[in-house]
Structure 1
Amino acid sequence: MALITLSDAHLAYGDLPLLDEAALSIEPGERVGLIGRNGTGKSSLLSVLAGKQLLDDGQIQRQDGLIVHYVEQEPILPEAPTFRESLIARGNIESIADEKEKWRLYAKLDENLSRFELNPDGDPKLASGGERKRAALALAFTLAPQLMLLDEPTNHLDMRAISLLENICRDELKNQRSLVVITHDRAFLDNVATRIVELDRGTLRSYPGNFSAYEARKEEELAAEALERRRFDKFWAQEEVWIRKGIEARRTRNEGRVRRLEALRRERAARREQMGSIRLAIDAGEKSGKIVAEVTGLSKSFGNHVVVKDLDFTLMRGDRLGLIGPNGAGKSTLIKLILGKLKPDAGKVKLGTNLQIAYFDQLREQLDLNKTVAETIAPGSDWVEIGGERKHVIAYLGDFLFPPRRANVRVSSLSGGERNRLLLARLFALPANLLVLDEPTNDLDIDSLELLEQTLASYPGTIILVSHDRRFLDNVVTEVLAPEGNGKWREYVGGYAEWFAQRPAEALPVKKASPSKEEEKKAKPKAQVQQKIKLSWRESRELEALPEKLEALEKEQSDLIARMSEGSYHTKPVDEIKADKSRLDALENEISAGYARWEELSAKA
């Protein structure tokens, strides 16, 4: 018997139908991948299945006593001193009457938090978006419901966490437990899903197998649909010609044919066309020099954290370099070092000649929140020039799925996906022979992601790419740079799959759960600074205090970056966002000044 059945379901958002006579059933033991374009209503459907939203019309039947657990896209954790207490409240574990079962769940929760690299005694108020997502997933797998609903569970997760999530979903969901997951990670869908359900123009279509099996069948289906529509349109056009013939023809026409034409008109009017796709074209500009970047002895540390040490490599024209590694490994820092936006502690980066650089940063800091969408693309003009061709800004924005009414909307009111598309539109509006893309796939649906992939595959310039999307990396890059601990980075030929096959056993070790506050106090030794007579008493005290001060600044910087990376961050007030950006700039300056002062005092000591 099906766990949950949806029939003749109708749901609309304003005048936009999200579900239109939709039908779906979830069977025990299934792992369903729910896919569809952004804005089609996938999250709304998950909310309906979870019982958090009602249908406008139609029926939903649940198996008696069905236990469902829903992990939303941006999980909210109840206020509590620790992750453990917050999740106990979120999962309502205290209400369980069976004391033995309750204590089993407590122990299982601690175990799962550790598996997701979280300290059960950590403070949830300081958690980043990724940490909140991992905490909510740890609770979900602790409760082990009959039906688990996951909305974009791979968002904010690095490759290691995604791999762990995959293994749990595939290998540990047993005893007839089922899963419905929304994700744009095609490798995840290939490794986990037993069925793909696509939400397209209000209708739910089911495809057995994983994402690769879906792709093969969908291509054939779209071709058949296009052929059928061409036949329909041709027949309809012929009937319209017939009805408009002269008086003699109208005398002889039969009423049955007229009624059939009226039915054809109704059917054509009710047809819902597929949503448009973004249209990408990159102007590669002039050829750069043969050597794009030459890195020699590059080193950079933040306090005791060594990001990179003695790195040597050369980036040649036409190379497609992927930077991979866990969150916090230093991928974005390495990009800033290469581009000269951050000063190294040692070594140098020599950029090549005739470079035209387009840089996509994961925090979208290059977008002015007070400007309109049109001003962002063409400041002071109504036109942009793409590859030598002049194009009106409204038409160009249409290529990135911005309707004319959105052209004068301020950037501050855009969603994460819209900001991503706007930044891509801005980057591709200018010629560039070096594309530097830091997490460009965030918030893109699968169709847009694949189109970006195809566009980059035919791009003749040089690419530096940071992404946690394994399929995207495999299809775009030709070499990979990966961290191997203690600031060492190693170059591999090929994409993610080649790195995965060749990586050393100890590569990307699982991080230990962050220590509790009490453990930190016990473990942290006091800074011992040997001082020479050259330092004054005041300077000695200053040098002794610097490590702790810098550690606090770096912690604040890390927390602020994590908060600004969250999917819901764009909904915050503009003044708060501006204050955060201003504070981030100030922190970078304070940290740089702090290290400079530390070096100065250490040299005197």
Structure 2
Amino acid sequence: MNLVNLESVSHAFGPKPLLTDVTLGIGQGDRIGVVGRNGGGKSTLISIIAGELKPDSGRVTHNRGLRVGLLSQRDDFDPAAPVGDLVLSGRAEHEWAGDAAIREILANLLGDIDLTAQAGALSGGERRRTALAKLLIDEHDLIILDEPTNHLDIEAIAWLAGHLAQRKSALLVVTHDRWFLDAVSTRTWEVVDASVERYEGGYAAYVLAKAERARIAQAAEERRQNLMRKEIAWLRRGPPARTSKPKFRINAAEALIANEPPPRETVELLKFASARLGKTVYDLEDVTLHAGGPDAGPVVLDHATFQFGPGDRIGLIGVNGSGKSSVLRLLSGSVTPDSGRVVRGKTVRLAHLSQELAELDPSRRVLETVEEIRKYIQVGKKEWSASQLLERLGFKGEAQWKVVGDLSGGERRRLQLLRLIMDEPNVLLLDEPTNDLDIETLTELEDLLDGWPGTLVVVSHDRYFLERVSDRCVALLGDGRLSMLPGGVDEYLARRASGAALSARAASSGTASAPGGQAVPAGTGAAAETAAGGSNGAAASGLSAKEQRELQKELGRLERQLDRLGEREEKLHARMAEAASDFERLGALDAELREVTAQKEEVELEWLDLAARLDG
């Protein structure tokens, strides 16, 4: 039996019909992702399903006693209420503290929020995470989520996907995050032209199925046109000609992409980018950078050296607050390093899309605003007009003549991005470019960037977009370095998880055994801070909470470094055993082993020093 049934449901917003005669149902255990253009009716559909909105016509029925949990895009928190009271709904401390599931939700969503703080003091992102934690702590038969990944970093999104996969309740989720859709949904609904098209599988299966439907529709249209031509010819000739019926074959999903070329002609783009940019784009030489200015705020880069070359397409990853936007501002020249230097190529022509959009003239028309930059632009091998590019990014027909002051936040972001591209830069810095963009616009943007020759550095929590437009990933892991990730986002999550596991083991063991054999009290890791609520102020060591956090991050970095050095030691020992009869190779391996051992001893001493400072 379905949990919810919709029968011939219709609803309109003013003169625009959003849903027309929609009939569908949600069964127990269904996991459904909802996609569609912004303003197409997705939020209206889930509001009707949740019972928050009554349709203009039709019937909506819920199972008796159905428990529905809805995360909307708005919240109605009492600004004077403490966060803990809102999230935990009056549960006694021993009740929630003894529940591992609740502790996990708090640690992953509210680990950096003081539970005694008032809701009115929270930022927009913190309010969003608070609402999500409140919903997940309670039990529901049907969970409905409207853009749950907003304000979550890649790590938190991966945790949320895993958490939802383990729950037994039915799930209905609206999101533009395509990786998340694939991770949590087994069916996809597309809200299009006031109807709901249904597909089996997550986002990837939906794309293939939709392409197959389009191919079949195209074949049917070609057959219809052929029949029409034959009918006209028969009318002209008189007696009908005998013809054989065309045969159509339905290809497997893989055949749809069998002859599809790679999304980017990497070699050609690199050659063109090198011609436009020369050899030097950005060289960071021994750079130290704090997020809040010289010696203020957390350390983002600590004597870091890195090179951004012509044609590089780099995805920059890190948790919220790790300093990703600070790195982009460093490259753009809006902030200067505390020490070291940034060498910028002489031919660099930069465009920087920040999270704070530049002010646009509200009285101008959309098309005029773009054409004042340039009327035509060359992207790859094709020339595009301003009007054509506007249409690709969702401004179709009359929308190009809308007044800028009437645009939504997402439309303004698209317009600003297009203005940057029309200026023909050869270096693009994009800070969360996917905010407020629907999936259809995202795919158009990705296609546009595929043909754009130049150096690209993008910061985004949209994992699908990040992996789609970049060729390699670089992470800020809290160690003051820009770390290459050959394994992409999966490697980043694995590194973060291994660091958290080490801290958790140290916290749970009572005492953590230091590399040199010295016992260090537990609670020196980030996990311990979370367990304590993250708001203990000055500890017994006499350090402030901020100093504790900085030392705990550094301790985690050293633990990860020790793990890596330990792995290198083991591999070198194995290789030495294999090369026992090759004395020349054995000597080289022995020299490398001594170097690794010396590095490990230095890191162990540093680890012991930090642990002693935290212990007081």
- So what's the TM-score if we normalise by structure 1? 0.71
Amino acid across the alignment from 1:137: L
How do 1:254-293 and structure 2 match up within 5 A?
Answer: 287-293=276-282
Q: Distance in 2 between matches of 1:29 and 1:148?
A: 11
Q: Distance in 2 between matches of 1:32 and 1:497?
A: 25
Q: Distance in 1 between matches of 2:273 and 2:418?
A: 14
Instruction: Please report how far the alpha carbon of residue 48 of structure 1 lies from its aligned counterpart in structure 2 after TM superposition.
Output: 0.5
Within the alignment, does 1:387 sit opposite 2:378 as a pair? yes
Residue matched to 1:273: none
SS in 2 for 1:297: strand
Deviations along 1:516-546, one digit per CA (max 9) or x if unpaired, are 898447889799xxxxxxxxxxxxxxxxxxx
Residue matched to 1:299: 288
Residue matched to 1:450: 443
Deviations along 1:35-86, one digit per CA (max 9) or x if unpaired, are 1122210001011011111112222121111111210123332223311233
Deviations along 1:275-333, one digit per CA (max 9) or x if unpaired, are xxxxxxx9979711112111011111232511211110111111111110111110010
Deviations along 1:238-291, one digit per CA (max 9) or x if unpaired, are 99x89xx99xx9xxxxxxxxxxxxxxxxxxxxxxxxxxxxxxxx9979711112
How do 1:582-597 and structure 2 match up within 5 A?
Answer: none
Q: Distance in 2 between matches of 1:157 and 1:490?
A: 22
Deviations along 1:385-440, one digit per CA (max 9) or x if unpaired, are 22299977556533433245444544343212211211122122121211111111
Residue matched to 1:134: 129
Q: Distance in 1 between matches of 2:35 and 2:316?
A: 27
The answer to whether the Cα contact below 8 Å between 2:9 and 2:23 also exists between their aligned partners in 1 is: yes
Amino acid across the alignment from 1:169: L
Q: Distance in 2 between matches of 1:410 and 1:521?
A: 54
SS in 2 for 1:148: strand
Within the alignment, does 1:485 sit opposite 2:478 as a pair? yes
Q: 1:105 to 1:486 in 2, by over 3 A?
A: closer
Deviations along 1:445-490, one digit per CA (max 9) or x if unpaired, are 1222122223323333111111112222222222222122242331
Q: Distance in 1 between matches of 2:530 and 2:364?
A: 42
Q: Please report the RMSD computed on the Cα atoms of aligned residues, expressed in angstroms.
A: 3.8
Residue matched to 2:148: 153
More relative contact order, 1 or 2 (CA 8 Å, 6+ apart): 1
The answer to whether the Cα contact below 8 Å between 1:83 and 1:123 also exists between their aligned partners in 2 is: yes
Instruction: Please report how far the alpha carbon of residue 100 of structure 1 lies from its aligned counterpart in structure 2 after TM superposition.
Output: 9.4
Q: 1:130 to 1:418 in 2, by over 3 A?
A: same
Q: Distance in 2 between matches of 1:100 and 1:522?
A: 25
Residue matched to 2:589: none
Q: Which runs of 5+ in 1 are unaligned?
A: 250-281, 528-546, 549-605
The answer to whether the Cα contact below 8 Å between 1:321 and 1:465 also exists between their aligned partners in 2 is: yes
Residue matched to 1:144: 139
SS in 1 for 2:315: strand
Q: 1:437 to 1:220 in 2, by over 3 A?
A: same
Residue matched to 1:9: 9
Q: 1:70 to 1:503 in 2, by over 3 A?
A: closer
Instruction: Please report how far the alpha carbon of residue 13 of structure 1 lies from its aligned counterpart in structure 2 after TM superposition.
Output: 1.9
Q: Distance in 2 between matches of 1:514 and 1:103?
A: 15
SS in 2 for 1:447: helix
Aligned residue-pair number:
480
Deviates more, 1:103-112 or 1:356-365: 103-112
Q: Distance in 1 between matches of 2:497 and 2:146?
A: 33
Instruction: Please report how far the alpha carbon of residue 25 of structure 1 lies from its aligned counterpart in structure 2 after TM superposition.
Output: 0.8
Residue matched to 2:200: 208
Q: Distance in 2 between matches of 1:385 and 1:32?
A: 42
The answer to whether the Cα contact below 8 Å between 2:66 and 2:141 also exists between their aligned partners in 1 is: yes
Amino acid across the alignment from 1:293: Y
Q: 1:230 to 1:102 in 2, by over 3 A?
A: farther
The answer to whether the Cα contact below 8 Å between 1:360 and 1:424 also exists between their aligned partners in 2 is: yes
Instruction: Please report how far the alpha carbon of residue 16 of structure 1 lies from its aligned counterpart in structure 2 after TM superposition.
Output: 2.2
Amino acid across the alignment from 1:208: E
- So what's the TM-score if we normalise by structure 2? 0.69
Q: Distance in 2 between matches of 1:450 and 1:289?
A: 30
Of 219, 223, 226, which aligns to 2:218? Answer: 226
Q: Distance in 1 between matches of 2:178 and 2:392?
A: 24
Q: Distance in 1 between matches of 2:378 and 2:144?
A: 45
How do 1:548-567 and structure 2 match up within 5 A?
Answer: none
Deviations along 1:196-255, one digit per CA (max 9) or x if unpaired, are 12212222222222222222222111211233345556768999x89xx99xx9xxxxxx
Instruction: Please report how far the alpha carbon of residue 7 of structure 1 lies from its aligned counterpart in structure 2 after TM superposition.
Output: 1.9
Residue matched to 2:263: none
Q: Which runs of 5+ in 2 are unaligned?
A: 239-268, 504-525, 548-616
Amino acid across the alignment from 2:154: M
Q: Distance in 2 between matches of 1:442 and 1:401?
A: 14
Instruction: Please report how far the alpha carbon of residue 122 of structure 1 lies from its aligned counterpart in structure 2 after TM superposition.
Output: 2.3
Residue matched to 1:52: 52
Q: Percent identity?
A: 34
Q: Distance in 2 between matches of 1:101 and 1:32?
A: 35
Deviates more, 1:353-362 or 1:105-114: 105-114
